[in-house]
Structure 1
Amino acid sequence: MKAEQHPSRFSLTSAVFNLLDPIPFGFFVGVLIFDVIYANTANVLWMKSAAWLVTFGLLFAIIPQLINLAVVWFSKRRIRSRGQVINFWLNVVGIVAALVNAFVHSRDAYAVIPDGVWLSILTVAAMGIGRIILAGEVVTYKELNHGQA
Protein backbone atom coordinates (compact mmCIF):
# COMPACT_ATOMS: atom_id res chain seq x y z
CA MET A 1 0.00 0.00 0.00
CA LYS A 2 1.38 3.34 -1.03
CA ALA A 3 0.74 6.59 0.82
CA GLU A 4 -0.59 9.42 -1.27
CA GLN A 5 1.71 12.40 -1.61
CA HIS A 6 -0.04 15.73 -1.19
CA PRO A 7 1.77 18.77 -2.54
CA SER A 8 2.92 21.10 0.20
CA ARG A 9 1.35 24.54 0.27
CA PHE A 10 4.45 25.94 2.00
CA SER A 11 7.17 27.72 0.10
CA LEU A 12 9.66 30.47 0.75
CA THR A 13 7.50 32.94 -1.16
CA SER A 14 4.43 32.15 0.94
CA ALA A 15 6.52 32.57 4.10
CA VAL A 16 7.80 35.97 2.94
CA PHE A 17 4.29 36.99 1.87
CA ASN A 18 2.78 35.97 5.22
CA LEU A 19 5.55 37.81 7.06
CA LEU A 20 5.42 41.08 5.11
CA ASP A 21 1.75 41.36 4.10
CA PRO A 22 0.40 42.69 7.44
CA ILE A 23 3.02 45.45 7.70
CA PRO A 24 1.59 47.88 5.10
CA PHE A 25 -1.91 47.40 6.48
CA GLY A 26 -0.65 48.48 9.92
CA PHE A 27 0.97 51.58 8.45
CA PHE A 28 -2.21 52.50 6.58
CA VAL A 29 -4.32 52.08 9.72
CA GLY A 30 -1.85 54.42 11.43
CA VAL A 31 -2.30 56.95 8.60
CA LEU A 32 -6.07 56.83 9.10
CA ILE A 33 -5.72 57.37 12.85
CA PHE A 34 -3.29 60.27 12.38
CA ASP A 35 -5.51 61.87 9.71
CA VAL A 36 -8.53 61.76 12.03
CA ILE A 37 -6.48 63.23 14.88
CA TYR A 38 -5.16 65.96 12.57
CA ALA A 39 -8.67 66.78 11.36
CA ASN A 40 -9.73 67.30 14.98
CA THR A 41 -6.66 69.09 16.37
CA ALA A 42 -5.06 70.89 13.38
CA ASN A 43 -1.63 70.10 14.84
CA VAL A 44 0.74 69.80 11.87
CA LEU A 45 2.74 67.06 13.62
CA TRP A 46 -0.04 64.54 12.90
CA MET A 47 -0.20 65.39 9.19
CA LYS A 48 3.57 65.11 8.79
CA SER A 49 3.56 61.78 10.65
CA ALA A 50 0.76 60.49 8.44
CA ALA A 51 2.76 61.49 5.36
CA TRP A 52 5.73 59.43 6.59
CA LEU A 53 3.52 56.46 7.47
CA VAL A 54 1.84 56.37 4.06
CA THR A 55 5.27 56.48 2.42
CA PHE A 56 6.59 53.59 4.50
CA GLY A 57 3.36 51.66 3.96
CA LEU A 58 3.78 51.95 0.20
CA LEU A 59 7.42 50.88 0.40
CA PHE A 60 6.55 47.81 2.46
CA ALA A 61 3.62 46.96 0.14
CA ILE A 62 5.85 46.37 -2.89
CA ILE A 63 7.27 42.89 -2.10
CA PRO A 64 4.09 41.21 -0.79
CA GLN A 65 2.03 42.50 -3.69
CA LEU A 66 4.59 41.32 -6.24
CA ILE A 67 4.42 37.88 -4.61
CA ASN A 68 0.61 38.11 -4.64
CA LEU A 69 0.74 39.02 -8.34
CA ALA A 70 2.92 36.02 -9.12
CA VAL A 71 0.80 33.58 -7.10
CA VAL A 72 -2.56 34.76 -8.41
CA TRP A 73 -1.75 35.35 -12.08
CA PHE A 74 1.47 33.54 -12.99
CA SER A 75 1.37 30.43 -10.81
CA LYS A 76 2.11 27.00 -12.27
CA ARG A 77 -0.92 25.43 -10.67
CA ARG A 78 -3.31 27.63 -12.67
CA ILE A 79 -5.94 27.12 -9.99
CA ARG A 80 -6.72 30.29 -8.17
CA SER A 81 -9.56 30.78 -5.83
CA ARG A 82 -12.09 33.52 -6.15
CA GLY A 83 -11.00 34.89 -2.77
CA GLN A 84 -7.38 35.24 -3.92
CA VAL A 85 -8.45 37.19 -6.99
CA ILE A 86 -10.78 39.47 -5.01
CA ASN A 87 -8.05 40.05 -2.40
CA PHE A 88 -5.57 40.89 -5.16
CA TRP A 89 -7.84 43.51 -6.74
CA LEU A 90 -8.84 45.00 -3.38
CA ASN A 91 -5.14 45.35 -2.54
CA VAL A 92 -4.57 47.07 -5.88
CA VAL A 93 -7.40 49.50 -5.08
CA GLY A 94 -5.94 50.09 -1.62
CA ILE A 95 -2.43 50.70 -2.91
CA VAL A 96 -3.61 53.08 -5.64
CA ALA A 97 -5.65 54.99 -3.03
CA ALA A 98 -2.59 55.08 -0.75
CA LEU A 99 -0.44 56.37 -3.61
CA VAL A 100 -2.91 59.18 -4.30
CA ASN A 101 -3.01 59.76 -0.53
CA ALA A 102 0.78 60.16 -0.51
CA PHE A 103 0.44 62.92 -3.10
CA VAL A 104 -2.37 64.53 -1.09
CA HIS A 105 -0.15 64.48 2.01
CA SER A 106 2.51 66.40 0.11
CA ARG A 107 0.23 69.44 0.20
CA ASP A 108 0.56 72.18 2.77
CA ALA A 109 -1.04 71.71 6.17
CA TYR A 110 -4.84 71.85 6.20
CA ALA A 111 -5.18 71.26 2.42
CA VAL A 112 -4.86 67.54 3.26
CA ILE A 113 -8.28 67.49 4.91
CA PRO A 114 -10.83 66.00 3.92
CA ASP A 115 -9.19 64.23 0.96
CA GLY A 116 -6.58 62.53 3.13
CA VAL A 117 -9.18 61.13 5.51
CA TRP A 118 -11.36 59.72 2.73
CA LEU A 119 -8.41 58.18 0.92
CA SER A 120 -7.20 56.64 4.19
CA ILE A 121 -10.66 55.19 4.82
CA LEU A 122 -10.75 53.77 1.28
CA THR A 123 -7.28 52.24 1.67
CA VAL A 124 -8.00 50.62 5.03
CA ALA A 125 -11.46 49.43 3.97
CA ALA A 126 -10.26 47.85 0.70
CA MET A 127 -7.29 46.09 2.29
CA GLY A 128 -9.33 45.08 5.35
CA ILE A 129 -12.12 43.55 3.29
CA GLY A 130 -9.52 41.69 1.21
CA ARG A 131 -7.96 40.27 4.37
CA ILE A 132 -11.37 39.19 5.69
CA ILE A 133 -12.21 37.42 2.44
CA LEU A 134 -8.83 35.69 2.37
CA ALA A 135 -9.11 34.67 6.04
CA GLY A 136 -12.60 33.24 5.44
CA GLU A 137 -11.26 31.27 2.51
CA VAL A 138 -8.42 29.80 4.60
CA VAL A 139 -10.88 28.76 7.30
CA THR A 140 -13.15 27.14 4.69
CA TYR A 141 -10.16 25.32 3.18
CA LYS A 142 -9.14 23.98 6.59
CA GLU A 143 -12.72 22.92 7.40
CA LEU A 144 -13.13 21.11 4.09
CA ASN A 145 -9.86 19.25 4.51
CA HIS A 146 -10.33 18.47 8.20
CA GLY A 147 -9.43 14.91 8.98
CA GLN A 148 -7.60 14.29 5.72
CA ALA A 149 -3.88 13.54 5.85
Structure 2
Amino acid sequence: MQNTFGQSRAALAIYELLNPVPLGFFVAAWIFDILYLKSYQIMWTEAASWLIAIGLVIAIIPRLINLVQVWFTQRRLATPAVKIHFWLYLVAIIVAIVNAFVHSRDAYAVVPLGVILSTIVVVLLLIANVQLAVRPAVVQGETL
Protein backbone atom coordinates (compact mmCIF):
# COMPACT_ATOMS: atom_id res chain seq x y z
CA MET A 1 0.00 0.00 0.00
CA GLN A 2 1.13 3.51 -0.77
CA ASN A 3 0.11 6.71 0.98
CA THR A 4 -0.37 10.09 -0.73
CA PHE A 5 3.37 10.79 -0.74
CA GLY A 6 4.15 7.52 -2.53
CA GLN A 7 5.88 6.03 0.51
CA SER A 8 5.27 2.45 1.47
CA ARG A 9 3.23 2.34 4.66
CA ALA A 10 5.08 -0.76 5.82
CA ALA A 11 8.49 0.87 5.29
CA LEU A 12 7.31 4.01 7.07
CA ALA A 13 5.98 1.93 9.99
CA ILE A 14 9.25 -0.01 10.29
CA TYR A 15 11.22 3.23 10.12
CA GLU A 16 9.13 4.93 12.80
CA LEU A 17 9.27 1.83 14.99
CA LEU A 18 13.03 1.24 14.79
CA ASN A 19 14.42 4.77 14.41
CA PRO A 20 14.43 5.75 18.13
CA VAL A 21 15.60 2.35 19.43
CA PRO A 22 19.37 2.70 18.72
CA LEU A 23 19.52 5.91 20.75
CA GLY A 24 18.44 3.95 23.83
CA PHE A 25 21.09 1.30 23.27
CA PHE A 26 23.83 3.89 22.70
CA VAL A 27 22.82 5.93 25.76
CA ALA A 28 22.85 2.76 27.88
CA ALA A 29 26.30 1.86 26.50
CA TRP A 30 27.50 5.39 27.30
CA ILE A 31 26.21 5.07 30.89
CA PHE A 32 27.88 1.66 31.22
CA ASP A 33 31.16 3.13 29.94
CA ILE A 34 30.97 5.84 32.59
CA LEU A 35 30.21 3.22 35.25
CA TYR A 36 33.23 1.21 34.11
CA LEU A 37 35.37 4.35 34.25
CA LYS A 38 34.33 4.86 37.89
CA SER A 39 34.36 1.25 39.11
CA TYR A 40 36.64 -0.76 36.79
CA GLN A 41 34.22 -3.68 36.93
CA ILE A 42 34.73 -5.52 33.63
CA MET A 43 31.04 -6.40 33.51
CA TRP A 44 30.18 -2.80 32.57
CA THR A 45 32.46 -2.62 29.54
CA GLU A 46 31.33 -6.05 28.32
CA ALA A 47 27.70 -4.99 28.60
CA ALA A 48 28.51 -1.74 26.78
CA SER A 49 30.10 -3.63 23.91
CA TRP A 50 26.99 -5.78 23.53
CA LEU A 51 24.73 -2.72 23.63
CA ILE A 52 26.80 -1.00 20.96
CA ALA A 53 26.66 -4.06 18.72
CA ILE A 54 22.89 -4.45 19.09
CA GLY A 55 22.36 -0.71 18.60
CA LEU A 56 24.37 -0.83 15.38
CA VAL A 57 22.37 -3.74 13.99
CA ILE A 58 19.10 -1.97 14.73
CA ALA A 59 20.36 1.44 13.51
CA ILE A 60 21.16 0.22 10.02
CA ILE A 61 17.59 -0.78 9.06
CA PRO A 62 16.00 2.69 9.51
CA ARG A 63 18.98 4.30 7.76
CA LEU A 64 18.47 2.09 4.70
CA ILE A 65 14.76 2.94 4.60
CA ASN A 66 15.62 6.62 5.04
CA LEU A 67 18.23 6.39 2.28
CA VAL A 68 15.73 5.05 -0.22
CA GLN A 69 12.87 7.37 0.73
CA VAL A 70 14.78 10.63 1.12
CA TRP A 71 17.46 10.31 -1.50
CA PHE A 72 15.76 8.29 -4.25
CA THR A 73 11.94 8.28 -4.10
CA GLN A 74 11.00 11.39 -2.10
CA ARG A 75 13.50 14.04 -3.20
CA ARG A 76 10.91 16.81 -3.31
CA LEU A 77 9.96 16.19 0.35
CA ALA A 78 13.52 15.93 1.63
CA THR A 79 13.91 19.10 3.65
CA PRO A 80 17.34 20.26 4.80
CA ALA A 81 16.48 19.11 8.35
CA VAL A 82 15.74 15.58 7.12
CA LYS A 83 19.02 15.52 5.19
CA ILE A 84 20.98 16.79 8.20
CA HIS A 85 19.28 14.13 10.34
CA PHE A 86 20.37 11.45 7.86
CA TRP A 87 23.99 12.64 7.75
CA LEU A 88 24.32 13.05 11.52
CA TYR A 89 22.91 9.57 12.07
CA LEU A 90 25.28 8.16 9.44
CA VAL A 91 28.30 9.80 11.10
CA ALA A 92 27.10 8.50 14.48
CA ILE A 93 26.88 4.98 13.05
CA ILE A 94 30.43 5.25 11.70
CA VAL A 95 31.70 6.47 15.08
CA ALA A 96 29.76 3.65 16.77
CA ILE A 97 31.46 1.12 14.49
CA VAL A 98 34.85 2.47 15.55
CA ASN A 99 33.63 2.35 19.15
CA ALA A 100 32.64 -1.31 18.72
CA PHE A 101 36.20 -2.08 17.62
CA VAL A 102 37.57 -0.17 20.62
CA HIS A 103 35.30 -2.16 22.92
CA SER A 104 36.53 -5.43 21.40
CA ARG A 105 39.93 -4.82 22.99
CA ASP A 106 40.94 -5.69 26.52
CA ALA A 107 38.76 -3.99 29.13
CA TYR A 108 41.58 -1.78 30.41
CA ALA A 109 42.30 -0.56 26.87
CA VAL A 110 38.76 0.76 26.46
CA VAL A 111 39.24 3.72 28.81
CA PRO A 112 39.15 6.65 27.99
CA LEU A 113 38.62 6.30 24.21
CA GLY A 114 35.47 4.20 24.63
CA VAL A 115 33.85 6.84 26.82
CA ILE A 116 34.81 9.61 24.40
CA LEU A 117 33.44 7.74 21.38
CA SER A 118 30.24 6.81 23.23
CA THR A 119 29.78 10.46 24.17
CA ILE A 120 30.26 11.56 20.55
CA VAL A 121 27.70 9.01 19.33
CA VAL A 122 25.10 10.08 21.87
CA VAL A 123 25.65 13.80 21.19
CA LEU A 124 25.38 13.30 17.40
CA LEU A 125 22.14 11.35 17.76
CA LEU A 126 20.66 13.88 20.15
CA ILE A 127 21.54 16.78 17.85
CA ALA A 128 20.05 14.89 14.90
CA ASN A 129 16.79 14.22 16.73
CA VAL A 130 16.45 17.71 18.22
CA GLN A 131 17.10 19.53 14.96
CA LEU A 132 14.59 17.27 13.21
CA ALA A 133 11.99 17.86 15.94
CA VAL A 134 12.17 21.66 15.60
CA ARG A 135 11.95 21.70 11.80
CA PRO A 136 8.88 23.19 10.13
CA ALA A 137 6.23 20.60 9.29
CA VAL A 138 5.72 19.72 5.63
CA VAL A 139 2.34 18.59 4.33
CA GLN A 140 1.95 17.72 0.64
CA GLY A 141 5.00 19.75 -0.27
CA GLU A 142 3.92 22.93 1.49
CA THR A 143 5.37 24.29 4.74
CA LEU A 144 2.88 24.86 7.54
Q: TM-score, normalised by structure 1?
A: 0.86
Structure 2 unaligned segments of length 5 or more: list them: none
Deviations 1:37-57 (A, max 9, x none): 000000000000001000000
Deviations 1:60-109 (A, max 9, x none): 11110101111221124533100011000000110001000000000101
> Structure 2 matches for 1:127-146, cutoff 5 A?
127-137=125-135, 140-141=136-137, 145=144
Structure 1 unaligned segments of length 5 or more: list them: 1-5
* Moved beyond 4 Å, runs of 4+: none
- In structure 2, relative to structure 1, the CA distance for the partners of 1:110 and 1:73 (3 Å cut) is same
CA distance in 2, matches of 1:99, 1:128: 18
**What residue is the counterpart of 1:56 in the other structure?**
54
Q: Indicate the SS of the match to 2:73.
A: coil
Q: Whose Rg is larger?
A: 1
CA distance in 1, matches of 2:122, 2:115: 11
Q: Indicate the SS of the match to 1:78.
A: helix
Identity within the alignment, %: 45
> Structure 2 matches for 1:82-93, cutoff 5 A?
82-93=80-91
RMSD (Å), alpha carbons: 1.9
